[in-house]
Amino acid sequence: MPGKGKTVYDALMKEGIMVDWREPNVIRLAPVPLYNTYEEIWRFASILRELVV
Q: What is the 3-state secondary structure (H, E, C) of the chain?
A: CCCCHHHHHHHHHHCCCCCEEECCCEEECCCCCCCCCHHHHHHHHHHHHHHHC
Residue 36 to residue 38: CA distance in whole angstroms:
7
Please state the domain count of the chain. 1
User: Model's pTM, two decimal places?
Assistant: 0.82
How many other β-carbons are positioned within 10 Å of the β-carbon of residue 29? 13
Range of the domain at 28: 5-52
- Residue type for 46, please? S
Query: pLDDT per residue over 1-53, tens digit each?
Result: 567 889 999 999 999 999 999 988 899 999 888 999 999 999 999 999 999 88
pLDDT at 1: 57
